Amino acid sequence: MLLCERKTIPRAPGWHFEIKYDGYRLLASTGNAPQLKSRNGANATTWFPELVDALTTLPVGYILDGEVCVLDDIGKSDFERLHARARRKGWYRGADAVAYCVFDLLVGKGMDLRAQPIERRKAVLRKMLAEPPPGLLYVDSVEDGAWLYGHALALRLEGVIAKRAGSSYQAGERSRDWQKIKRPGAIPSKRFTR
C-alpha cells in the first residue's frame, strides 16, 4: 500500500498517526524460512541476516509490512547509514545494526487480513510483537496527530504518517487512506541514484 503526500495533518476525527521512519520498505514472512522483499520484488533476505534470525523466532504464516532502518541512540532513522549498509548486500564486521520497524500485518496464521480494518490488523500485530525479538520494533499509533507532528518537528524526524480509521490494506495502490506529512526541509524521497 502506497501513501499520498500532503502538507498538513488531517484535523478531522478518525485518523491514527505514526512516526515516519526513513528506511527501506520491506515485506517480511515469518517462521522457518523467512524472506524479506522490497516493494518492487527484490529479494533482500541476505542483506539483513540479523532480521532473518529474528523472524525465525516468530510463528509461521505471517506477512509483515515495515521499514528497515538504522536507528541512532534516540531512535531517529538515518537513511544514509542504512543505504551504506545495504549497498554491501549482507552483514560485515563493523556494519550498522538495523531494526525492522513493523507497522502492519497483511497475513496472519496463513489468512489474508488485508480487508480487515487497520485497528484489527494492528491489534494482532501488537499481540504478536508484545515481546519482540532483537531487531524488530512494533510501530504503535496515536490519535493526536498535532502532538506527534510537533515532536517530529522538534526531533527533526522525516515526518508523520496518517492512517484513516477502519481502512483496509490496498496492496500496490496509492491511497488517500494513508498519507505522509513530511517535515518542511526533510530530504525528498529521490535523494540519490542507485
Instruction: Write the single-letter amino acid at 141.
Output: S
Residues in the chain: 194
Count Cα atoms within 13 angstroms, Cβ side, for 126: 9
In this prediction, residues 142-158 reach a mean pLDDT of 95
pLDDT band of 89, cuts 50, 70, 90: confident
Reply yes or no on whether the pLDDT at 159 is more than 60. yes
| Closest to 178 measured CA to CA, from 59, 1, 3 | 3
User: Which one of the listed residues 20, 122, 163, 182 is annotated catalytic?
Assistant: 20
Question: The CATH number of the domain where 10 resides is what?
Answer: 3.30.1490.70
- pLDDT, one tens digit per residue, over 19-53 is 999 999 999 999 899 999 998 889 999 999 999 99
| C-alpha cell belonging to residue 111 | 489468512
Percent of all residues in the chain with a pLDDT value above 90, rounded to a whole number:
79
Contact between 83 and 63 (Cβ < 8 Å): no
pLDDT band of 191, cuts 50, 70, 90: low
Q: Are residues 76 and 152 in the same domain?
A: no
- Count up the domains in the chain and report the number: 2
pLDDT at residue 190, rounded to an integer: 56
For residues 64 and 105, give the distance between their C-alpha atoms in angstroms, rounded to a whole number.
Answer: 5
193 within some domain: no
Percent of all residues in the chain with a pLDDT value above 70, rounded to a whole number:
96
Contact between 66 and 103 (Cβ < 8 Å): yes
Q: Dihedral angle at the C-alpha atoms of 165, 154, 99, 143, nearest 10 degrees?
A: -20
191 within some domain: no
In this prediction, residues 172-181 reach a mean pLDDT of 91
Reply yes or no on whether the pLDDT at 192 is more than 60. no
Q: Are residues 170 and 181 in the same domain?
A: yes
Q: Are residues 32 and 76 in the same domain?
A: yes
pLDDT band of 194, cuts 50, 70, 90: very low
Q: Are residues 47 and 121 in the same domain?
A: yes
* Catalytic annotation present for 76: no
118 within some domain: yes
Which residues, including other chains, have CB under 8 Å from residue 96's CB and lie 6 or more apart? 70, 81, 82, 84, 85
Provide the domain limits for residue 37: 22-138
Contact between 59 and 95 (Cβ < 8 Å): no
In this prediction, residues 52-81 reach a mean pLDDT of 94
Buried b or exposed e, range 42-72, using 16+ CB within 10 angstroms:
eebbebbebbbebbeebeeebbbbbbbbbbe
192 within some domain: no
